[in-house]
Amino acid sequence: MNKFYITTPIYYVNSYPHLGSAYTTVAADVLARFHRMRGEEVFFLTGTDEHGSKVAEAAAQKKTEPQKLCDQVTAKYEEVWDTLKISYNYFIRTTDSQHAQTVRYFLNSLKEKGLIYKGQYQGLYCLGCERYYTEKELVDGQCPFHKKKPISFSEECYFFKLSAFQEKLLKLIRSQKLIIEPQERRNELLSFLERNQLEDLAVSRANVKWGIPLPWDSQQTAYVWIDALLNYLSGLGWQGDSQKISDFWPPDVQLLGKDILRFHLVIWPALLLALDIPLPRRLYVHGFFTINGQKMGKSLGNALDPEKMAEVFGVDALRWLMLSSFPFGQDGDISQSKFYDQYQAQLANGLGNLFRRVLTLAAKSDQDFTPPQKEEKKIIKILQQTWKIYEKSLDDLKFEAAIESVRKVIAEADRYVDQNKPWELLKKDFSRYQEVIYHLLEILRHLGWLIRPFMPDKSDLIFKGLNLELAEKKKSLIQGKKWGGTIFSPTPLEEILFPRL
Ligand code: ME8
């Protein structure tokens, strides 16, 4: 069975999840469900990033212990992910002892290879990002993401010879052996690597106590980003044998937001190259949810609460709306009122209305609907094309394009109803009425499959309305996306697919 390993970044526990944090996770979940639907064995990893000065400071502000804060915020993440139906296979916490063991092993191996040395670091440090900035990278002397002035810092610490990997990285990216998407992010990184000399990376901190102590120097803790990146290995249970990691290694897709691009596209592959570990197959950098053009986040106080949004729209609809608004690789402005308009147009008046209409029309007959002699070639062709576009779009992480292809099917079905007027056929031409309703029921069955990775419960409800709940779930996708062959005896439902808000 084909294996598919997908990861999200692990989330900082200095604040609660917001809709921007949920963006990466919902996207990863849709992909995980899509690959499971295809019959692949999926390992979907997410979790929380719990060490470092940012978390220690947040705990101090709240007059609590860092571990307590981690437990509390991680519990919230798990709760929100459950609400959003995130079907992760493992939730990694960097305060797990097994993770610490992986980090210690990894750092020791780097040291044994002569890739770690002791030095003095002086620089401008942004607490928000947990990283040093060069003067050039600042905007008006401030961190471009947190809009705060970094603090000046000097400390003794251990360095990783990151600079030794510059040429290798360039070669791998140029030859497409390391796939970075979308294209503009790949180009951005290439031009950065072509124009700048990589500096070695400080991988430990003497003054940060809330972290994993270095195996050879307990006065220093691992730099939180090294600690965090290694979750992608420890999350698979890796204990340090670089020959045998897991059947799931390497990751098929790693998702990340553009604010953490350098860590994932430079430091992460360099760390793996250092220990001869195969690189991820694909790193995908997505854009931000913005509110009036500003990145949504806790620090700017403009964050939307995913649980509240789920109460308003319902979880399935929220998942759909989050991915339908704009292309995944770009930034996009969102708001509750934009979601409201999309909900009405795409879901309540679109799919929901079609579903109700077809089931009501089908209920006018007490006979089963069997595959008719005459098939509408045009409809069959549209569905075949839709499946092609839909699968290709999801393979390319073009969620909005996959959604668009589904919306076209809904529009086509609406047109088919209006053209054929089955309520008139019922009186005039019963066998044509049966033919038309059969096609509509079969389109609904396909829609049940098409929306499944995005809206798993609404997909169940469609199958339930078609009286095929068990039958469809037993099928493989290959069987499910075939046209015809089903005998329908639908049951009108009490539930409304997408209630008006
Ligand atoms: O960066 N729109 O954690 P994090 C879209 N712990 N995505 C957003 C967003 C928004 N408005 N706001 C945040 C970290 N994100 C590190 C990762 S991985 C080894 C360590 C995304 O909680 C952000 O881009 O700050 C990132 O991909 C993810 O949420 C976690 O952000």
Map out the domains of the chain as residue ranges.
335-481
Q: How far is the CA of 331 from the centre of ligand 1 (A)?
A: 14
* Ligand 1: nearest atom to the Cα of 290: 11
Distance CA 464, CA 462 (A): 5
Q: Which residue is closest in CA terms to ligand 1's atom 27?
A: 257
Q: What is the pLDDT along the chain (501 residues), one digit of tens a residue?
A: 899 999 999 999 999 999 999 999 999 999 999 999 999 999 999 999 999 988 998 999 999 999 999 999 999 999 999 999 999 999 999 999 999 999 999 999 999 999 999 999 888 888 888 778 888 888 999 988 888 899 888 889 999 999 999 999 999 999 999 999 999 999 999 999 999 999 999 999 988 899 999 999 999 999 999 999 999 999 999 987 666 789 999 999 999 999 999 999 999 999 999 999 999 999 999 999 999 888 998 777 889 999 999 999 999 999 999 999 899 999 999 999 999 999 999 999 999 999 999 999 999 999 999 999 999 999 999 999 999 999 999 999 999 999 999 999 999 999 999 999 999 999 999 999 999 999 999 999 999 999 999 999 999 999 999 999 999 999 999 999 999 999 999 988 899 999 998
Q: What is the CA angle 73-74-77, rounded to 5?
A: 90
CATH class of the domain comprising 335-481: mainly alpha
* Ligand 1: nearest atom to the Cα of 9: 18
Distance CA 484, CA 254 (A): 37
For position 243, what pLDDT does the model report? Answer: 65
Q: How far is the CA of 5 from the centre of ligand 1 (A)?
A: 19
Distance CA 70, CA 89 (A): 21
pLDDT digits (tens, 9 = 90+) for 425-445: 999 999 999 999 999 999 999
CA atoms within 13 A on the CB side of 146: 15
> Furthest-apart CA pair in the chain: how many Å?
89
For position 300, what pLDDT does the model report? Answer: 77
For position 369, what pLDDT does the model report? Answer: 97
Residues near ligand 1 with C-beta < 6 Å?
Answer: 9-12, 20-21, 23-24, 49, 228-229, 231, 256-257, 259-260, 288-289, 295-297
* Ligand 1: nearest atom to the Cα of 268: 19
Distance CA 346, CA 278 (A): 42
437: phi then psi, degrees, rounded to nearest 5: -65, -35
pLDDT digits (tens, 9 = 90+) for 144-162: 888 889 988 888 999 999 9
Q: How far is the CA of 81 from the centre of ligand 1 (A)?
A: 15
Q: Which residue is closest in CA terms to ligand 1's atom 22?
A: 11
* Ligand 1: nearest atom to the Cα of 289: 2
Q: How far is the CA of 225 from the centre of ligand 1 (A)?
A: 13
* Ligand 1: nearest atom to the Cα of 296: 11
* Ligand 1: nearest atom to the Cα of 263: 19
Roughly what angle, to the nearest 10 degrees, separates helices 430-450 and 377-395?
A: 0
Q: How far apart are the first and last CA of the chain?
A: 43
Q: What is the CA angle 248-251-253, rounded to 5?
A: 135
For position 242, what pLDDT does the model report? Answer: 63
Q: How far is the CA of 21 from the centre of ligand 1 (A)?
A: 6
Distance CA 28, CA 30 (A): 6
Best residue among 6, 13, 18, 24 to mutate for probing ligand 1's pocket (most ligand atoms within 8 Å of CB) is 24
Q: How far is the CA of 445 from the centre of ligand 1 (A)?
A: 36
Q: Work out whether strand 282-286 and strand 11-12 pair parallel, antiparallel, or are unpaired.
A: unpaired
Q: Work out whether strand 282-286 and strand 221-222 pair parallel, antiparallel, or are unpaired.
A: unpaired
Q: Which residue is closest in CA terms to ligand 1's atom 12?
A: 20
* Ligand 1: nearest atom to the Cα of 255: 27
Q: What is the CA angle 340-312-410, rounded to 5?
A: 50
